[in-house]
């Protein structure tokens, strides 16, 4: 397929590379030129402007947040002149923005699909992301080959695009909750003389097996916070959950605790570290950082 791709951050770069590997023609645009150059070496074409990326069969965007999507792509003049048939927005954005984007694209005769993903950069590099997709069934069918190149499974969540964003926000809220609970449990164990690695062995071998506790648990135990899912992005997602809860009159008391823990880490200069750096916040509260 002829694909435009906008947004080449850590995740976007890997996703675009998977499309190239699968034989799709990919035209890329990014604010900073370095990722564009790297993908051109892999066979991509460079788009001089965002508008130039909206001239293929499908546009995929993987931008940071609501503001970036609105600034770059929710422009009446841009969409009125776009030749693209479908826009697949794979960013984690608010349900409100998804609704607004879908309405705006429909006015200009462009299909709109929301398809945020679950998985870190290493998962994206292996083409094993889980894709949460929502939009008209015919549009999902049309872009299915692209999803097959990027991910291992696509969950179809209905025809309203915002439902995919609700699913992603809910999943990330639960993920951050798990990491915060694991961080607090680790601080408790260490304060009482139990090594974090020993606690992790017990937890992952009994009641909490699986990639979240094993992966983040080892990072917390080893105090290894290589950036992948940054604290700053975790805060963005928790705030999205709080906003969505407010709009739907759903109290999320745990989300308020998570917001404060994330703000604590960011205030201590850890915003660019991985979410596992919540372990440092828990240790500071315990007086053992």
Q: Residue 87 belongs to a domain with what CATH number?
A: 3.40.50.720
Q: Tell whether 118 and 218 lie within a shared domain.
A: no
131 plus 187 within the same structural domain: no
Q: pLDDT tens, position by position, for the chain (289 residues)?
A: 999 999 999 999 999 999 999 999 999 999 999 999 999 999 999 999 999 999 889 999 999 999 999 999 999 999 999 999 999 999 999 999 999 999 999 999 999 999 999 999 999 999 999 999 999 999 999 999 999 999 999 999 999 999 999 999 999 999 999 999 999 999 999 999 999 999 999 999 999 999 999 999 999 999 999 988 999 999 999 999 999 999 999 999 999 999 999 999 999 999 999 999 999 999 999 998 7
Q: What confidence score (pLDDT) does residue 97 get?
A: 98
Examine the domain organization and report whether 48 and 190 are in the same domain: no
Q: Tell me: do 53 and 37 sit in the same domain.
A: yes
Q: Which residues are catalytic?
A: 168
Same structural domain for residues 205 and 251? yes
- The verdict on 24 and 144 lying in the same domain is yes
Number of compact structural domains in the chain = 2
What's 211's domain CATH number?
1.10.1040.10
Same domain flag for 28 and 124: yes
Q: Report the pLDDT value the prediction gives residue 7, as an integer from 0 to 100.
A: 97
Residue 228's pLDDT is: 83
Residues 25 and 151 in one domain: yes
Residues 57 and 142 in one domain: yes
Last residue of a domain, one of 99, 132, 160: 160
Domain termination site, one of 126, 160, 194:
160
Tell me which residue range forms the domain holding 274: 165-285
The residue from 107, 137, 160 where one domain ends is 160
36 and 132: one domain?
A: yes
What SS3 string covers the chain? CEEEEECCCHHHHHHHHHHHHCCCEEEEECCCHHHHHHHHHCCCEECCCHHHHCCCCEEEECCCCHHHHHHHHCCHHHHHHCCCCEEEECCCCCHHHHHHHHHHHHHCCCEEEECCEECCHHHHHCCCEEEEEECCHHHHHHHHHHHHHHEEEEEECCCCCHHHHHHHHHHHHHHHHHHHHHHHHHHHHHHCCCCHHHHHHHHHHCCCCCHHHHHHHHHHHHCCCCCCCEHHHHHHHHHHHHHHHHHHCCCCHHHHHHHHHHHHHHHCCCCCCEHHHHHHHHHHHCCCC
The verdict on 83 and 37 lying in the same domain is yes
Tell me what pLDDT residue 41 has: 97
């Amino acid at each position: 397929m002829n694909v435009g791709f906008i947004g080449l951050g850590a995740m976007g770069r890997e996703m675009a590379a998977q499309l190239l590997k699968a034989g799709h023609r990919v035209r890329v645009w990014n604010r900073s030129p370095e990722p564009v150059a790297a993908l051109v070496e892999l066979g991509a074409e460079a788009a001089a402007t965002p508008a130039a990326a909206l001239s293929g069969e499908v546009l995929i965007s993987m931008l940071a947040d609501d503001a970036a999507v609105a600034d770059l792509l929710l422009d009446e003049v841009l969409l009125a002149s776009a030749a693209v048939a479908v826009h697949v927005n794979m960013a984690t954005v608010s349900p409100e923005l998804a609704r607004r984007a879908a309405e705006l694209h429909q006015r200009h005769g462009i299909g709109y699909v929301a398809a945020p993903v679950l998985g870190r950069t290493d998962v994206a590099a292996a083409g094993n992301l889980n894709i949460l997709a929502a939009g008209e069934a015919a549009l999902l069918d049309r872009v299915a080959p692209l999803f097959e190149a990027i991910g291992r499974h696509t969950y179809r969540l209905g025809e309203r695009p915002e439902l995919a964003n609700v699913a992603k926000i809910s999943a990330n809220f639960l993920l951050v909750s798990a990491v915060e609970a694991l961080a607090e449990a680790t601080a408790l164990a260490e304060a009482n003389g139990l090594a974090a690695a020993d606690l992790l062995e017990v937890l992952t071998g009994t009641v909490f097996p699986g990639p979240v506790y094993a992966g983040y648990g080892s990072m917390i135990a080893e105090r290894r916070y290589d950036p992948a899912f940054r604290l700053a992005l975790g805060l963005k997602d928790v705030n999205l959950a709080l906003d969505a809860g407010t709009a739907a009159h759903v109290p999320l008391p745990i989300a308020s605790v998570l917001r404060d823990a994330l703000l604590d880490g960011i205030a201590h200069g850890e915003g660019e570290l991985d979410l596992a750096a919540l372990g440092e916040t828990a240790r500071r509260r315990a007086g053992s950082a």
